[in-house]
Amino acid sequence: MNSINSECVLSKESEDIPPFYVMEVLESAKALEAQGRHIIHFEVGEPDFPTAPRICQAACDAISKGLTKYTHSQGLPALREAIVESYYKKFGIDLDPGQIIVTSGTSPGLLMVFMALLEKRDEVIMSNPYYACYPNFVKYLGGTPVFVYTNEANGFALEPETVRQCMSPNTKAILINSPSNPGGHVMSSENLQGIAEIAEEKGIPIVSDEIYQGLNYSGEEHTILEYTKNAFVLNGFSKIYAMTGWRLGFIISPPDCVRALQKIHQNFFICANSFVQEAGIAALNGSQEHVAEMVRVYNIRRQYMLKRLLGMGLEVRKEPTGAFYVLADARKFSSDSLELSRRILHEAGVAVTPGIDFGNGAEGYLRFSYANSLENIEEGMNRLEAFLEKELEG
Q: Is the pLDDT higher at 339 or at 16?
A: 339
Which domain-ending residue is among 216, 251, 285? 285
**Structurally, how many domains does the chain consist of?**
2
Please determine, for residue 1, whether its predicted confidence score (pLDDT) is greater than 50: no
The arithmetic mean of pLDDT across residues 195-200, rounded, is: 97
Q: Would you list the DSSP string of 237-268?
A: STTTTT-GGG--EEEE--GGGHHHHHHHHHHH
Residue 7 within a domain: no
CATH of the domain at 257: 3.40.640.10
Residues 18 and 57 in one domain: no
Sheet holding 144-149, edge to edge: 100-103, 249-252, 231-236, 206-209, 171-177, 123-128, 144-149
pTM: 0.94
Please determine, for residue 196, whether its predicted confidence score (pLDDT) is greater than 80: yes
Residues 268 and 326 in one domain: no
Q: What is the mean pLDDT of the chain?
A: 96
CATH of the domain at 371: 3.90.1150.10
pLDDT per residue over 160-188, tens digit each?
A: 999 999 999 999 999 999 999 999 999 99
pLDDT per residue over 251-272, tens digit each?
A: 999 999 999 999 999 999 999 9
Residue 200 within a domain: yes
Our CA angle for 85, 89, 94, nearest 5°, is: 60
Residues 101 and 192 in one domain: yes
Query: What letter does residue 224 receive in the DSSP assignment?
Result: G
pLDDT per residue over 198-242, tens digit each?
A: 999 999 999 999 999 999 999 889 999 999 999 999 999 999 999
Residue 26 within a domain: yes
Host domain of residue 229: 53-285
Residues 261 and 339 in one domain: no
Residues 180 and 312 in one domain: no
Residues 176 and 251 in one domain: yes
Residues 276 and 294 in one domain: no
